[in-house]
A and B are shown apart, each in its own frame.
Chain A
Amino acid sequence: MPPEVLSAPLIVEFPFTRSTGPVLGAFLTGLRERVVLGARGSDGRVLCPPAEYDPVTAAELTELVPLGQLGTVTTWAWNERPRPYQPLDTPFAWVLVRLDGADTALLHALDAPRHAVRTGMRVAIRWAAERSGAITDIACFEPAPEGPEAADAPQAASPTRAEGPAA
């Protein structure tokens, strides 16, 4: 007979506080105000989520660009059985979404029926009712409304420059 194995729960925590810096900080603060910012890369491409350093050249990036609230699904995966802490507790699609005005895609959840989900699908941000400056301020994406995409109007039209870290 195998020996009895004793076990006990172990909750691992890394209780560090981090500062988010001028790029991610601006991105997360923007989400709280229902604004999505991308970062302009060395080659002019707009990266969203924004990167502090260019993924190809490693150049420091500072120019932030407001993006649309609509986007296009670039790939998806249907999650029939959501796991703890995931954005939705009902079946949803994981999606990479290229927001209008961006050249790269953001990972999030899409709340839509399975049959509606496809690559190339147009989707819209569903904002969380209470926002705290986190990626979860986007509650999820949902199918974009039919017809003219008039709802897709970013708050600001001109590029903004990232502010340096607070003194």
Chain B
Amino acid sequence: MSSPAPSPVHSGARSGRDVAVVAFAQSSHTRRTDQLSEVELVMPVLHDVLKQTGLTANRIGFTCSGSSDYLAGRAFSFTMALDGVGAWPPISESHVEMDGAWALYEAWVKLQTGEADTALVYSYGKSSPGSVRDVLTRQLDPYTLAPLWPDSIALAALQAQALIDAGLTDERGLARTAVRSRRAATANPHAQLRGSADVEDLLRRPYEVEPLRRHDCPPISDGAAAVILAAGDAARALHANPAWIRGIDHRIEAHQPGVRDLTESPSTRLAAAAAGAFDAPLDAAELHAPFTAQEIVLRRALDLDDRVPVNPSGGPLAANPVMAAGLIRLGEAAALIHRGEAGRVLAHATSGPCLQQNLVAVLESSAGGTR
């Protein structure tokens, strides 16, 4: 195989049918939900998101979910959660073994084909039954990485140290990110960690895996989220202020952390360019950076300076239901537009170790950006 040209930008990413997020719901994320099955975790969120639009399940054109068998501890676990949707009479349905942000991408593609006008997207993660820090080692290369059991905090710490070595941040800068995120979450009733001690206090606490302390890591969360997408006139009929997806794209990098420059995220930058993120100023950004240092990487890849509010919801540092935390970024970005608080918002989701794969979407109000 000769060396191919860079992959072309997906032609549908910034054209085709206008598709909007018209509703978003999420659970109140908590450390444990021992008394709830996955179905019981998802059901109230599905009811909430459908009620917002007045739609019933049989009027949804396409349903797509994101979840992980490794959290549930059984194969095809998503089929159980489908009971929460009500799949009789038969529905058009799909599932990704990924964060719900990628389920949203699949639903967006489905709406682009014209085969559906509305889509229900949901995802959930119940991390509490196992040790998610160790479970995540099972997503790694089974020959060279997984046998060493490098947990998610260890891999994030390697990335953080690379940033510190490059002079791009320090432990104080990381702590400031944690404080800002969790204080922003005080306004978010769904967040799990709301409020924070100050930077000096945090820096006196012990390391988890140096250079990361507990505050640099996301909480362990059980939770679910759901979004309804609609195309064109259907979207305008369902919401007075739809959050139009002006661009959406996702890109992946090599799996081995030692192949990549961990201080940079070229896949984020490529996805952002394809989604049109650099074409006009942004009013806010919701970034799926579960670890403080990863926000630094993403800010650099996205050219975000301090003028753009990042994670006004508190972000994944305030609640991190694995498999839903990326979809929640898209939902929170849409909610800012639904509420009239922003006109143009970037949403980002990630998957894999050390920001291996990244999705970027740009959402706009009907009037466009700049509030």
| Interfacial residues, chain A to chain B (CB-CB below 8 A) | 2-3, 5, 7, 10, 12, 18, 20, 24, 27-28, 42, 47, 49, 51, 55-60, 74-80, 83-87, 94-98, 104-109, 119, 134-136
**Set of chain A residues within 8 Å of B4, measured between Cβ atoms:** 57-58
A5 and B34 contacting across the interface, CB-CB below 8 Å: yes
| A153, B116: Cα distance in complex, Å | 63
**B161 located at the interface, meaning its Cβ lies under 8 Å from any Cβ of chain A in the complex:** yes
| Binary CB contact string for chain B from 86 to 122 against chain A (1 if under 8 A, 0 otherwise) | 0000000000000000000000000000000000000
| Nearest CB in chain A to that of B141: its residue | A49
How many A-B pairs have beta carbons closer than 8 Å: the answer is 121
B209 and A77 contacting across the interface, CB-CB below 8 Å: yes
**Set of chain B residues within 8 Å of A76, measured between Cβ atoms:** 158, 161
B73 and A10 contacting across the interface, CB-CB below 8 Å: yes
| A86, B253: Cα distance in complex, Å | 26
B144 and A77 contacting across the interface, CB-CB below 8 Å: no
**B54 located at the interface, meaning its Cβ lies under 8 Å from any Cβ of chain A in the complex:** no
**Set of chain A residues within 8 Å of B258, measured between Cβ atoms:** 49, 74, 96-98, 104-107
| Nearest CB in chain A to that of B256: its residue | A49
**B198 located at the interface, meaning its Cβ lies under 8 Å from any Cβ of chain A in the complex:** no
Whether A119 touches B165, Cβ cut-off 8 Å, given contacts A80-B207, A136-B147, is yes
A55 and B158 contacting across the interface, CB-CB below 8 Å: no
| A108, B257: Cα distance in complex, Å | 11
Q: Which one, B148-156, B239-247, B309-317, is touching chain A?
A: B148-156
A136 and B34 contacting across the interface, CB-CB below 8 Å: no
| Nearest CB in chain A to that of B255: its residue | A55
| Binary CB contact string for chain B from 158 to 192 against chain A (1 if under 8 A, 0 otherwise) | 11111001000000000000000000000000000
A-B contact pairs, 21 of them (CB 8 A): A5-B34, A7-B34, A10-B129, A49-B141, A49-B144, A51-B254, A55-B254, A55-B259, A57-B4, A75-B158, A75-B262, A76-B158, A77-B154, A87-B148, A94-B157, A94-B209, A107-B148, A107-B158, A107-B256, A119-B161, A136-B148
| A51, B260: Cα distance in complex, Å | 13
Whether A96 touches B143, Cβ cut-off 8 Å, given contacts A2-B35, A85-B149, A107-B148, is no
| A7, B159: Cα distance in complex, Å | 37
**Set of chain B residues within 8 Å of A96, measured between Cβ atoms:** 158, 257-258
Whether A3 touches B35, Cβ cut-off 8 Å, given contacts A42-B3, A80-B210, A104-B258, is yes
- Report the minimal beta-carbon distance from A164 to chain B, rounded to whole angstroms: 17
**Set of chain B residues within 8 Å of A49, measured between Cβ atoms:** 141, 143-144, 256, 258
| A51, B256: Cα distance in complex, Å | 9
- Report the minimal beta-carbon distance from B107 to chain A, rounded to whole angstroms: 28
A75 and B144 contacting across the interface, CB-CB below 8 Å: no
A135 and B161 contacting across the interface, CB-CB below 8 Å: no
Which B253-292 residues have a C-beta within 8 angstroms of A?
253-254, 256-259, 262
A109 and B148 contacting across the interface, CB-CB below 8 Å: yes
- Report the minimal beta-carbon distance from A10 to chain B, rounded to whole angstroms: 5
**Set of chain B residues within 8 Å of A5, measured between Cβ atoms:** 34-35
| A42, B2: Cα distance in complex, Å | 9
A77 and B157 contacting across the interface, CB-CB below 8 Å: yes
**B142 located at the interface, meaning its Cβ lies under 8 Å from any Cβ of chain A in the complex:** yes
B154 and A79 contacting across the interface, CB-CB below 8 Å: yes
Please pick, from A3, A27, A83, A135, the residue contacting B147 in the complex, using a CB distance under 8 A.
A135
**Set of chain B residues within 8 Å of A42, measured between Cβ atoms:** 3
B148 and A135 contacting across the interface, CB-CB below 8 Å: yes
Which of A2, A18, A49, A84 is packed against the most chain B CB atoms within 10 Å?
A49
**B218 located at the interface, meaning its Cβ lies under 8 Å from any Cβ of chain A in the complex:** no
A106 and B1 contacting across the interface, CB-CB below 8 Å: no
| Nearest CB in chain B to that of A85: its residue | B149
| A47, B259: Cα distance in complex, Å | 7
- Report the minimal beta-carbon distance from A35 to chain B, rounded to whole angstroms: 15
**Set of chain B residues within 8 Å of A56, measured between Cβ atoms:** 254
- Report the minimal beta-carbon distance from B31 to chain A, rounded to whole angstroms: 14
B1 and A59 contacting across the interface, CB-CB below 8 Å: yes
Please pick, from A77, A84, A98, the residue contacting B161 in the complex, using a CB distance under 8 A.
A77
**B237 located at the interface, meaning its Cβ lies under 8 Å from any Cβ of chain A in the complex:** no
**Set of chain B residues within 8 Å of A3, measured between Cβ atoms:** 35
